Amino acid sequence: MTPKEFFEFAKKHDAKMVDLKFVDLLGTWQHCSFPVDTWDEGTFEEGVGFDGSSIRGWQGIHMSDMLAVPDPDTAVLDPFFAKPTVSVIADIVDPVTKKPYSRDPRYVAQKGVAYMKSTGIADQCFIGPEPEFFIFDEVRYEQNQHTGFYRIDSVEGAWNTARFEEPNLGYKPSFKGGYFPVSPTDTYHDLRGEMVEEMQKVGIVVEAHHHEVATAGQSEIDMQFAELVHMADQFMWYKYIIKNVAKRAGKSVTFMPKPIFQDNGSGMHTHLSLWKGGQTLMAGDKYAGLSDVGLYAIGGILKHAPAILAFAAPTTNSYRRLVPGFEAPVNLVMSARNRSAAVRIPMYSASPKAKRLEFRCPDPTANGYLAWTAMLMAALDGVQNKIDPGEPLDLDIYELSAEELAKYPHTPGSLAEAIDALEADHKFLFAGGVFTDDLIEMWITWKRENELEPIALRPHPYEFHLYYDC
């Protein structure tokens, strides 16, 4: 869409306002709305100004002026404004140098794709994420000097079988019993259907939706795979739409990986494939029908997985999910069909075009622009350096002894370990200038100062159970 076509689109839909959106370093959309008649075609070159010092992880107050330059190709009607409003995603530019901003996650993803093409290895990277989320009826939490608690509730919660509900009909998915039930146990089919309809309005192709394993409304909506930058844009719409449809129904959605104790967490298994000239590079006659390129790509992702997870499982809560002995894929090995391996090769289809790798460690708190670009960079590093992915793990890990499991590398045990891994292993991200020193340094500093240190300082409620009467 050209700038001229943008204004024609707005006029066609009688939109008097435009909503400009961009993503901050951690992966949250920011926005500002403007009357359409205050913009002209020059706005798509000059941009609009904003305060970069008020955006997490961006500018200091002494260099706060920044420009957001709208990308007309991203224009759609926003489904949640009362009046017709055109929504457009922006790229961030320095107002003095006019250069793209190094900490703009969308720019990082754009550079990652450009670097991939420059290597000659591939000209397309397709991403297919499977984000999971919980739908709650209520969430309350507090943390101050003398109080620390959280409380969530759901009409579907297994803990509510005895609650007075006038009447309580008893259809509650049990703990770890929520995978694929029909109604009346699955109470959110219609709500997920509304979410899908809103996604379709903004051009997202949805493949399926269903209830997930956990109790209390855990759900999944799967988007059809798309090229990396486009999928990262869609992932922002995905979260925005799901949260707003839930709120419209009086519900609350969280993408936290582990909001419920002793039940399955929410992951974001991510499928990745490399293509060139309209042909997949992943299919071949090696293990699980993979090519050498496919195997080397897996080798790169497994080698760099601890560093990748600083972006792909980027919260302290992520490591309540990535715990050995539970449902999460903590073993840094590959396998066909085995869901306990960090990288799985799906075997649903015999078509070479369907051949791909599935990295199962990420979760939906990730910033897709950064996490998926880090995955791409690791895959390219694997291909360039012919990194061996090692022997596959095709055994049931729950039947292996601790000594046998110890032979396999594992994911980091905490966010602190993942951040340390990124600090020690990030040169592969610098290839082609895709990631930069200042972005990596800011990411590490932000995570340590704003998440790890504050968590470490606060008493945990369970510590009272353990130690109050010591």
3-state helix, strand and coil shares in percent for the chain, rounded to the nearest 5: 40, 25, 40
The Cα angle at residue 129 between residues 124 and 133, in degrees rounded to 5:
160
Structure tokens at 438: 């200042």
* CA-based nearest residue to 80, from 40, 29, 134: 29
Question: What is the distance, to the nearest Å, from the Cα of residue 34 to the centroid of all Cα atoms in its chain?
Answer: 29
- Cis omega (within 30 of 0) for bond into 72: no
The Cα angle at residue 422 between residues 65 and 57, in degrees rounded to 5:
15
**Which residues does 361 contact at the CB level (< 8 Å), separation at least 6?**
267, 305, 309, 312, 313, 322, 328, 329, 330, 342, 411
Burial class (CB in 10 A: 0-12, 13-18, 19+), 34: middle
Question: What is the distance, to the nearest Å, from the Cα of residue 96 to the centroid of all Cα atoms in its chain?
Answer: 32
* CA-based nearest residue to 334, from 286, 367, 366, 370: 286
* Spatial distance between the Cα atoms of 269 and 255, rounded to a whole number of angstroms: 13
Structure tokens at 443: 């990411």
Q: How many other CB atoms are there within 10 angstroms of residue 239's CB atom?
A: 18
Report the DSSP beta bridge partners of residue 276: 279
What single string gives the DSSP state of each residue in 143-207?
ESSS-EEEEEE-TT-GGGTTS--SS-----PPTT--SSPPTTT---HHHHHHHHHHHHHTTPPEE
**Which residues does 422 contact at the CB level (< 8 Å), separation at least 6?**
306, 307, 310, 311, 440, 443, 444
* Spatial distance between the Cα atoms of 8 and 19, rounded to a whole number of angstroms: 16
Q: Which amino acid is at 149?
A: F
* Spatial distance between the Cα atoms of 202 and 99, rounded to a whole number of angstroms: 29
Residues designated catalytic: 51, 130, 132, 212, 220, 269, 339, 358, 360
Q: Between 189-201 and 228-248, two packed helices, what is the crossing angle to 10 degrees?
A: 130
